[in-house]
Each structure stands twice: as C-alpha cells, then as structure tokens.
Copies of this chain bind each other. A is one copy, B any other.
C-alpha cells in the first residue's frame, strides 16, 4: 500500500510517499481502507521530533474509510463506513483502529467530511465539557476560532450547552466565519486587547471557560479574562511555554482551575470512553445538520508537503484533508 513517512526529522520537505506493508489488525481492531485522513499539529510535532508521541513511522492520527476486516466481535462489520482516531498510521491506504474508537459515519456525510471530525471535535468536546465543565448559559472564550479545534468548539459550545461564545482570530475572514458558526462576540487579537473586550462583553465578570492554545504569550490576558471559579484549559503552546513573574495569589483570588491536557498520548480506554460519550451526544446533531465538519482544503497524497505547509502558515480555516481515493 501507499503510505506517507518521514524521511528524517525536519520540515515538510521530509515527507514522502512510499510503499509499505498493509497493517495486520490485532484482536479488537478493525482494518480500514482509508478514504480520507486529516492533518493535525501533532503530526507536525512528530515530523519534527526525534522521538514523537507515536512509534509508527507513518504519520496520521485520524481517518475515515470503510471497514475491510473486522477482527472483533463488535457490531461493526466489514463494509461499514467509519471514522475515528488511530494510534498513528493514518496517512496511508490502510490503517488499523481499535474497534471501540470507530464511529459510524452519518449517511449525510462524505468521507472527506467525516475525516474532518474525530480529532478536533473530540478535543473540543473533551476540553469544553470533560475538563472545562461548561454549563448552560456560561461564557466560553475560544481562542484560534478559525482553527480546526476552534471551529468545532464554537459549534459544540452553542449546540450542546447553549453557551455564549467569545472567540479570537487574526483576520476578518476568520472572524466572519466564526460568526457563521454561531460565535456571539469576535475579537481580532491583532487589533484589540482581547482581555478588555472579554471583560466588556461580560460586564466585567470574565469567561467561565477558556480554551487556550497559546500558553505563555496570552497568560496575563487569559488570567484577566477568566471569571472567578473559571476553568482554563491549556491545550497548546503556540505562544511559548516559558513564564516569569507569576503570582500564585492571583490564581487563589480567582480560584482558577488551570487544566493542562493533550489528547493524543492518552490511553486507549480514555479515547474509547470519550468517543462513546461524544458519539451519543453529538452524532445526531451532524445528521440534523446542526453540527458541520469544516473543511479548509483537500490535498492528494502526493501533495502532502503543501498540506503541512498550509497548516504551518496558519492560513487554514478548519481542517486540511488528505484524500486517499484518487
């Protein structure tokens, strides 16, 4: 089968298509004929790192496709259209997936649309609800509103919690798109101090939940934007990791809950439980067209280098998809 591997740790130019053995499903796993995969920042980290999260030389942590072999007694027979997280190996014509992580693709969605769902919607669901404990009518501050997780989080916060959504992005095009997804307040972080706008929009109270992909460079503004008893979920460090001059009393006075998280390195058991909870609550909303996968661009396997470059330049709105079907 064709698969995309990393030649040497480094830039996008190190990605190449080559021939690999088809993987063998172990008990409890499905072998999937991959129709579409999606690009994630985790893939870039693994591409660059000498030791990544995953041992597999083939990148890719989510796929949509059709079950070819169901090496399991679960109710997902060969021929089923499924999507879900894989433990690496997604950028390939075939991949194996633990059966308890496979979600049946709603009939209304194509494989490309389905491949745009698992990682970002599961991450947004986990961070908003499992960690952020977002409740009805609370306010969520969702940074990087145009990103894959951002576009998923805006929709989930509105549709599942009826929350008020404030979002930040760096262009009017992205902000307009966030509004079309349901965001209530959009802030261009290049033009405005987002903490001032958040406090203005919340009568000085601040947001109950912050999804923070940024880290160090937003630390002070996020702290200022958080309400008392707020949950601050740290899921990325695009703005650096190093902090100086931190006063823990500030955290005490606001009774801050700072929860750092990563989805990819979590256990199979955790991913299965998260998938089941998400599928039960959110999949019906995809069928009703209340939740929408957001596709930025679609690349062929041979154009994987351009696909990674697009994500690295932060141009995308929503997901960058790899089409395996051409």
Contacts and interface: CB of A to CB of B under 8 A. Distances in A.
Interface of A: 131, 215-216, 234, 237, 241-249, 251-262, 266
B246 A243 contact: yes
Contact of A257 (B242, B243, B257): B257
A195 B64 CA distance: 45
A237 B248 contact: yes
4 tightest Cβ-Cβ pairs between the two chains A and B = A251-B260, A243-B246, A241-B249, A241-B248
A254 B257 CA distance: 15
By secondary structure, the A interface counts as mixed
Nearest to A257: B259
A262 B237 CA distance: 29
Contact of A248 (B131, B234, B248, B257): B234
Contact of A251 (B234, B249, B251): B234
Contacts of A237: 248-249, 252
A284 B59 CA distance: 56
A257 B255 contact: no
Contacts of A244: 244-246
A81 to B, nearest CB: 32
B252 A234 contact: yes
Contacts of A262: 252-253, 255
A243 B234 contact: no
A252 B261 contact: yes
16 contacts: A216-B248, A234-B248, A241-B252, A242-B248, A243-B243, A243-B247, A246-B246, A252-B260, A253-B262, A256-B259, A256-B260, A257-B257, A257-B258, A257-B259, A257-B260, A258-B259
Give the most central of A216, A252, A256: most B CB within 10 Å. A252
A24 B36 CA distance: 71
Given A234-B251, A244-B244, A251-B260, 12 more contacts: A131-B257, A237-B249, A241-B247, A241-B252, A242-B247, A243-B243, A244-B246, A251-B258, A253-B262, A255-B259, A256-B260, A258-B259
Nearest to A261: B255
A234 B250 CA distance: 12
Contacts of A215: 248
A50 to B, nearest CB: 16
A252 B45 CA distance: 14
A120 B115 CA distance: 51
Nearest to A243: B246
